Structure 1
Amino acid sequence: MTTTQTTTNLEQLQYPIGRFAPKEDYSIEEVNRMIGLQETAPARYQKLLAGRSDEDLARTYREGSWTVQQLVHHIADIQLLNFLRLKKALTEDDYVITLVQMNDWAKTPDATTAPIDDSLLMFDGITRRFVYLWRTLDEQTQTKTYYHPSRQINLSLKQFLYMATWHVVHHQGHIELALGLQPSAFLGDGLSR
């Protein structure tokens, strides 16, 4: 295998739906589509993970990656964080996004050994609140921005919605790869391969 093939394969494993690449703006239809993807994500995760064995949960999508179990806990953690980020962006002027040490979070005992059912339940409940809050926002509010220091960019709330949606589907792709499945290609509008 050539270096180019190895790099391409690694890229596909790391970014099964493509890299994070926000557009300048999103139409009402695109926003509604992302909200729909958010709303249905917990059910997709439940279906994907139903009846999985401990061996399945210990699988990884590439060498050195997080396990399926860690990914499930991570998605719940970050969905909670994204809900809090949304509320802070809505209620604080000049908000700078709250950052966390994701790799360190993935190593805590709850991320490595806790049953995934609690995180799936948490993911479902937080997503319901996230979607409910988002649907109350008028188009003007959706253009409000905040600063993301690690990406060194200002993001509008529409771009933030893209980031949150990309994140949920990105890790769904990782779980599908770890379980030997083809990653779903149901996104589009810059969210899929």
Structure 2
Amino acid sequence: MTTEELEKLKYPIGRFYEPKNIDDQLIQTWIEDISSFPIRIKDLTEKLGMKELNWKYRPEGWSIKQVVHHCGDSHLNSIIRFKLALTEDTPSIKPYHETKWAELADSLEDDITYSLKLLEGLHHRWVKLLKSLTKEQLERTFYHPQQRREINLAETIGIYAWHCNHHLAHVRQALDAKGGFN
């Protein structure tokens, strides 16, 4: 498999690029993507058996169940980052080793029911928070030590809308491959 083919499997919707102009309409579209994510991931996965939940979306990639569990981990971290940025002046956030987290026992659990429930409740609260943000609050930032830059909350909403769609595409990719990457 070529490097280009592997890149397409890793980033089926492409990488996230911050738009030059983030307007109210774009923010609302992104919030809708975040809002609808729990039902979209549930619709794709709730009827899958253990065999399908263990299908990978690319060679040496995560299984469907790991993707679902990862979304819970990632989105928990995100809402915390939002709350830190809203209550502190440019806090430095704590990065985490998502690939190592994906190998822990809870991320290897075949039952994704609890991660789906977690995403449902978490996204309900997260979207309520996102919809309440003022223009001034959207400009608040946190410092990401791995990226060595400040990131504002408007861009962060876009990153996580992309993240939702990125992982939905991974699940579809795994389902389309029918275990072909295992």
Same fold (TM over 0.5): yes
- Structure 1 segments, 4+ long, off by >4 Å, are none
Partner of 1:122: 118
CA deviations 1:140-163 (Å, max 9, x no partner) are 110112211212222111001111
Q: Which blocks of at least 5 consecutive residues in structure 1 are unaligned?
A: 182-193
Name the TM-score, length of structure 2 as normaliser.
0.93
Q: Residues 49-88 of structure 1: matches in 2 within 5 Å?
A: 49-88=45-84
> Is 1:28 equivalent to 2:24 in the alignment?
yes
2:31 and 2:127 in contact (8 A); partners too: yes
| Aligned with residue 106 of structure 1, among 102, 105, 115 | 102
2:90 and 2:140 in contact (8 A); partners too: no
Letter in 2 for 1:12: K
The secondary structure found in structure 1 opposite 2:135 is coil
CA shift at 1:25, angstroms?
4.0
> Is 1:96 equivalent to 2:92 in the alignment?
yes
Name the TM-score, length of structure 1 as normaliser.
0.87
Letter in 1 for 2:130: W
1:76 and 1:119 in contact (8 A); partners too: yes
Partner of 1:37: 33
| Aligned with residue 160 of structure 2, among 159, 164, 168 | 164
CA deviations 1:34-92 (Å, max 9, x no partner) are 00111111110111112101110000011111111111000011111111111011011
Q: How many pairs does the alignment contain?
A: 177
Letter in 2 for 1:119: S
The secondary structure found in structure 2 opposite 1:140 is helix
Q: Which blocks of at least 5 consecutive residues in structure 2 are unaligned?
A: 178-182
> Is 1:47 equivalent to 2:15 in the alignment?
no
Distance 1:50 1:148 in 2: 34
CA RMSD of aligned residues (A): 1.3
Letter in 1 for 2:103: K
CA shift at 1:15, angstroms?
0.4
